[in-house]
Chains A and B, each alone.
Chain A
Amino acid sequence: MRYVLRTSYRQDTRLFKEGLPQYGWYLVWLALALVAPLFLGVHLVSQLTFILIFAIAGIGYQILLGYTGLLSLGQAAFLAIGAYACVFLEKQGLHFALALPAAALLTGVVGAVLGLPALRLKGLYLAMATMAIGFIVEEVAARWTFVTGGNSGASVPRIEAFGYVLSRDVPFYFLCLALCIASLWFAANILRSPTGRAMAAVRDSDIAAQSIGVEVAQVKTKAFALSAFFTGIAGALMAHKLSFISPEQFTLHLSIELLLMILIGGIGSLRGVVFGAAFLVAMPELIAEIERMLPGGSQPALRPMAFGLLLVLVMLFEPRGINGLVEKITGYFRLMPLYRKGMFARQRGFAKSERW
């Protein structure tokens, strides 16, 4: 642990508590993200764009799962709602700049309503309920042809700005970058304010949260609304990046990939979301490379197997995911001469009973 000298309480509310060194690293990353399109080809910029979009969806998921402790297997439904709502509104003549926030808000409202089961259900039961919601939304997307285009899908209009058509490559990448940074900032603000602390309280002990006056039901509803809001933004961006949407893009499979992204990236951490998103995009590329080297050609089982194996390894050796690993490594170099084995050992816990 690094010792941080504080001179005011306000310092503790800062985003980067350690001041310039920490700040500096984020500035380097930002600079890299800004110049990346100059050096990377169309394909890689496109992959970076997907990382940013998944990161935004991951922020929404982290709020629900990492901060509030609510396990949802229906995140794909929020992506779908955001995507279809945005496209539908644009087709009604609304400009993207208005359709995107409108779609995100709408998804947020739907999220608050769909979160109602969460007020009564916990753990696996909630996971099942949200999974069911995912199926329902998928079904609605397939049948409500007037809005969604049904199973034959819907093409996504191009974004126009100042008389120009916005390219889906570099300019769209910058749009996603800006929205991703804004989302990270919003989420970090929530974390360091009463709303975020109330969420952590509900996650760790809802009975204690209640005893200190936290409205548990309200906090859970807020978490679902916020989660859906951010995921809705990601859905709208995804629609534009893919330029075509259809119900089979928003299945349980996608929800589970998002869950893997959070678990492998690092649960409860915003940095972990970005790592997880990078992993989610890079992994299939890597597997495709490996397949090219294999004599038999394409191996459909390789991808789920690799994901599954990695998840087991993460759960066994680094429950805090890639983010936990990064913290250990940077901690090691920072403390090099003083590093002791076991410094990052898992914390001990005391047995808890279910009764108060």
Chain B
Amino acid sequence: MLLEARELSVSFGGIKAVDSISFAVEPGEIFTIIGPNGAGKTTIFNLVSRIYNPTGGEIVFDGRPITRVPPQAIARMGIARTFQNIELFDHASVIDNLLVGCHIRSRTNLLADMLFLPVVQRQEETFRRKVEEIIEFLELEHHREATIGSLAYGIRKVVEIGRALALEPKLLLLDEPSSGLNPEETDDMVHWIRDIRDDLGVTIIMVEHDMSLVRRVSDRVLAMESGRIIALGAPDAVVSDPQVVRAYLGD
């Protein structure tokens, strides 16, 4: 198991946003979480990336409990993520956004940076080579120099995935990768998600509303409603599960 949640819970002012949820994700899997708005999907991501403290339960990543690990140490352990509302560094260029994704591998200190010593220069070249690989992989060549603030929404989503990949993670958390994308961009997203797993060997947990995308890429699907699991299993079975359908229609 790469990631395991054991009876994970968190409440906000009496509301149980995540209520005793257990699931396990295997290495190399594309694991999708679905559910109506407010079901607690993003909250699970925030728990795994340690932005929220669980009120109960445990998270184990790669054989190590991470329930008490500080949030800024999560990246170093091999977990990268994107955000539902895109959290890029808006005043920086695409290249700089991707370069800063290499931050955890930086071995230089303030003084060396200030003097731009040869070690810093060599490191910059190593990072840049990595970033160029990602740019090629995600076909971002045309936007290299652009400031994030000037990019279309769909491209920002791709850049954010690129930044996460720059961390060279074992596990990638994608929060609604296709939201706000047009049909062509969604198609591209399907390919990228597959390629990230197949070519880069990164395990993916994703939150997604587009059921056709969910069916096309997921190995397993977890459906939740009001913080609880209502179905878990093969995509087709979960998506057509009567309880899931009812949850989505909203009764």
A residues contacting B by CB (< 8 A) are: 1, 9-10, 12-13, 186, 189-190, 192-198, 200-201, 203-205, 207-216, 222, 226, 268, 347-350, 352-353, 355-356
Question: Is B86 an interface residue when CB atoms closer than 8 A count as contact?
Answer: yes
Whether the pair A189, B86 counts as a contact (CB closer than 8 A) is no
Select from chain A the residue with minimum beta-carbon distance to B108.
A194
* Chain B residue with the shortest CB-CB distance to A15: B116
Task: Please give me the residue from chain B that is nearest to A353 by CB atom.
Answer: B85
Q: Which chain B residues border A194 with CB–CB below 8 Å?
A: 100, 102-103, 106, 108, 113, 120, 123
CA gap between A355 and B102 in the complex, in Å: 25
Given the interface pairs A9-B125, A212-B163, the reply to whether A205 lies near B104 with Cβ below 8 Å is no
Give CA–CA (A200, B106) in the complex, Å. Answer: 16
Q: Which of A192, A212, A356 has the most CB of B within 10 A?
A: A212
Among B164-190, those with CB < 8 Å from A are 164, 166-167
Which DSSP category, helix, strand, loop or mixed, fits chain A's interface?
A: helix
Q: Does B55 contact A (CB under 8 A)?
A: no
**Bound-complex Cα distance A275 to B29 (A):** 55
Known contacts: A211-B49, A352-B85, A356-B42. The answer to whether A216 contacts B72 by CB under 8 A is yes
Q: What is the CA–CA distance of A186 and B117 in the complex, to the nearest angstrom?
A: 11
**B37 interfacial contact with A, CB 8 Å:** no
The listed residue with most B CB atoms (<10 A of its CB), out of A9, A211, A349, is: A211
Residue in A198, A205, A210 whose CB lies within 8 Å of B71: A210
Nearest-neighbor residue (CB-CB) of B149 within chain A: A347
Residue numbers in B under 8 Å from A12 (CB-CB): 95, 128
Top 3 closest pairs, chain A to chain B, by CB: A213-B75, A208-B87, A193-B113
Are the CB atoms of A347 and B147 closer together than 8 Å?
Answer: yes
In the complex with contacts A207-B51, A356-B51, A356-B83, A214-B100 CB distance below 8 A: yes
> A-B contact count, CB below 8 Å?
140
B46 near A212: Cβ-Cβ < 8 Å: no
- Which B residues are closer than 8 A to A by beta carbons? 42, 46, 49, 51, 71-76, 80-81, 83-92, 95-96, 99-104, 106, 108, 110, 113-116, 120-121, 123-125, 128-129, 132, 145, 147, 149-150, 153, 156, 163-164, 166-167
Which residues of the partner chain A approach B51 to less than 8 Å between Cβ atoms? 207, 210-211, 356
Question: In whole Å, how far is A265's beta carbon from the nearest beta carbon of chain B?
Answer: 17
Q: Judging by beta carbons under 8 Å apart, are A211 and B129 in contact?
A: no
Tell me the bound Cα distance from A347 to B71 in angstroms.
32
Q: With A10-B125, A205-B88, A352-B85 in contact, do A347 and B113 touch (Cβ < 8 Å)?
A: no
Is B89 in contact with A205, judged by CB distance below 8 angstroms?
Answer: yes
- Cβ contacts A to B, 10 pairs, < 8 Å: A9-B125, A194-B106, A205-B89, A210-B51, A212-B100, A222-B110, A347-B150, A348-B150, A350-B156, A356-B85
Residues on the B chain within 8 Å of A205, using CB: 87-90
Q: Which of A9, A213, A355, A356 lies in contact with B103, CB distance below 8 A?
A: A213
Question: Do B72 and A189 have beta carbons less than 8 Å apart?
Answer: no
Minimum CB–CB distance from B77 to chain A (whole Å) comes to: 9
Q: A212 touching B80 by the CB < 8 A rule?
A: yes
Q: Are A211 and B149 in contact (CB under 8 A)?
A: no
Please pick, from B72, B85, B102, B114, the residue contacting A190 in the complex, using a CB distance under 8 A. B114
Q: Are B128 and A200 in contact (CB under 8 A)?
A: no
Residues of A within 8 A of B167 (CB): 212-213
The closest CB in chain B to the CB of A213 belongs to B75
Closest partner residue, chain B, to A69 (CB atom): B91
Whether A200 contacts B88 in the complex (CB less than 8 A), given A210-B71, A213-B73, comes out as no
Within 8 Å by CB of A212, from B103, B114, B116, B145, lies B103
Chain B min CB distance to A223 (Å): 10
For B175, the closest partner residue in chain A by CB is A356
A109–chain B nearest beta-carbon distance, Å:
13
Chain A residue numbers with a CB within 8 Å of B147 are 347
Most A CB within 10 A of own CB, among B87, B132, B153: B87
Q: How many whole Å from A262's CB to the nearest CB in chain B?
A: 15
CB distance from A240 to the nearest CB of B (A): 24
Contacts of B49 in A (CB 8 A): 211
Indicate if the CB atoms of A211 and B128 lie closer than 8 Å: no
- Knowing A216-B72, A349-B149 touch, does A193 contact B120 (C-beta < 8 A)? yes
Q: How far is the CB of B114 from chain A (nearest CB, A)?
A: 5
